[in-house]
Amino acid sequence: MSKISIIDYGMGNLHSVVKALGRVGADAVIIDKAEDIIKADKIVLPGVGAFRDAIATLQEKDMVEPIKEVVASGKPFIGICLGFQMLFDVGYEDGCYDGLGIIGGTVEKFEFGDNPKNLKVPHMGWNSLKICGEQPLFKGIEDESFVYFVHSYYVKPSDDAVAATKTTHGIEFVSSIHKDNVYGVQFHPEKSQTVGMKILENFVGI
């Protein structure tokens, strides 16, 4: 059974993630100390809330460098929702704040101007994934499968080659990424029923 460590920094829906990982055969544990991040075999960085607060909390808990170190070591790492956004260089929620800088790019707000289609922000509910080529995280998942989103900000990678899936909500945006041992998803796999469980199962098997 794969052991997966979920980073608890006070801003994640941890128990639903633990439960979902358990359903796909993982031994999921919650960790809240910097030294435990370094020791972990596979890591999940979840998150719900504001980019600024989340980064500040990781800094206060001395978790930023351990996260970068464990990513550099080559261990499988996945960010979910806000945890995904923090992988990038800069976030523009209520100002301009440095992210973890693991993936090049920015995190920006959906802006629809006059909004003739009455598109809502946050982007909330079910939407489909356009899978970009062969992707380990999406093995066995059909293109245009639906997953569950809740977010007002989206990522803009510096290099489009990291895009694993794209989704359209007014604009086409990158809804998940893959670069080397790093994965990230904007949606909530733990809330995405069968498709979400398959995505988590694929991560467990990596």
| C-alpha to C-alpha distance for 20 and 4, rounded to whole angstroms | 12
| C-alpha to C-alpha distance for 92 and 140, rounded to whole angstroms | 35
Residue 169 is a catalytic residue: no
206 residues of the chain, pLDDT tens digit each? 568 999 999 887 788 999 999 999 999 999 999 999 999 999 999 998 899 999 999 999 999 999 999 999 999 999 999 999 999 999 999 899 999 999 999 999 998 877 767 788 999 999 999 999 999 999 999 999 999 999 999 999 999 999 999 999 999 999 999 999 999 999 999 999 999 999 999 999 99
Say which of 81, 151, 169, 178 is annotated catalytic: 81
Say which of 151, 178, 190, 201 is annotated catalytic: 190
Residue 96 is a catalytic residue: no
| C-alpha to C-alpha distance for 94 and 96, rounded to whole angstroms | 7
In the prediction, which pLDDT does 189 show? Answer: 97
| pTM score of the predicted model | 0.96
Domains located in the chain, CATH noted: 3-205 (3.40.50.880)
In the prediction, which pLDDT does 2 show? Answer: 67
Residue 81 is a catalytic residue: yes
